[in-house]
Each structure stands twice: as C-alpha cells, then as structure tokens.
C-alpha cells in the first residue's frame, strides 16, 4: 500500500483506508437490515428505493477504501498519511485538478454502484 501522496491516485494512508472500510461495513449492515425489514413488513415494492441512501454510504466507503483515495479530501485539495484527522494541503494546482477529477470519478462510480444495487433489490421477486 502506498504511503505517500500521489496526485489523482492516492491521498490517504492505512488509518484513513480502515476508516472507509468501517463506513462501507456500516452502510452494508444498514442496507441489509433495512432490506430485511422491508421484506418482512410487506412494504410496497417501491419502498425498496429507500435503500439507495445506505447503499450509497456503502458504495462510497467501499470504493474509497479500494482506491485509497478520499473523495472529500480530493475536493478540498488535501491528503492524510499521518494520524487520523491530521490533513495536509495540496499546493500544486495541477495536482488539485487531478484530485478533483478522481473525486468526481469516485462519486460517479459510487452512484452507479448504489443505483445498480438499489435496482437489483427492486427487481427481486420477493
């Protein structure tokens, strides 16, 4: 795992990656328990669209941890490889632009993943 800032590629270290893994796990647990609740309560099939938000939490955490890149840090022009919360600023404008592009890509990928999972749960014949 890279332990240094690489513009548009890597802006978080091990501690920050673990934090995103926890976020993904929390999003997955909330999504699964919500789906079970919806299915067991005979809620309208359209209620499954409410899973999009917890699935988005899962997707953002998952993709950020896999890419070792925080989308919020990318938008803010910051990075962190030290203690949690101890962020540093990106000074190079070209690096900031690359980070923002990667952040937008992660946001788009997360949205697509959450939407796909939401539609899959809607399509379930349960």
| Per-residue pLDDT reduced to its tens digit, 97-112 | 999 999 999 999 999 9
Give the global pTM. 0.91
Domain definitions of the chain by residue range: 14-123
Helix then strand then coil, % of the chain, to nearest 5:
70, 5, 25
| Per-residue pLDDT reduced to its tens digit, 19-35 | 999 999 999 999 999 99
If we measure between CA atoms, which residue out of 113, 114, 90 comes closest to residue 8?
90
If we measure between CA atoms, which residue out of 118, 29, 13 comes closest to residue 65?
13
Q: What are the residues whose beta carbons fall under 8 Å from the beta carbon of 2, sequence distance 6 or more?
A: 9, 10, 68
């Amino acid at each position: 795992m890279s332990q240094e800032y690489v513009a548009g590629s890597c802006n978080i270290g091990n501690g920050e990656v673990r934090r995103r893994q926890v976020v993904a796990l929390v999003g997955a647990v909330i999504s699964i328990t919500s789906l079970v609740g919806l299915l067991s309560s005979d809620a309208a099939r359209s209620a499954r669209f409410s899973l999009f938000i917890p699935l988005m939490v899962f997707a953002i955490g998952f993709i950020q941890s896999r890419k070792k890149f925080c989308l919020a840090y990318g938008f803010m022009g910051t990075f962190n490889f030290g203690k949690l919360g101890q962020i540093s600023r990106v000074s190079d404008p070209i690096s900031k632009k690359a980070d923002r592009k990667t952040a937008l890509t992660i946001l788009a990928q997360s949205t697509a993943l959450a939407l796909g999972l939401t539609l899959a749960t809607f399509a379930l014949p349960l």
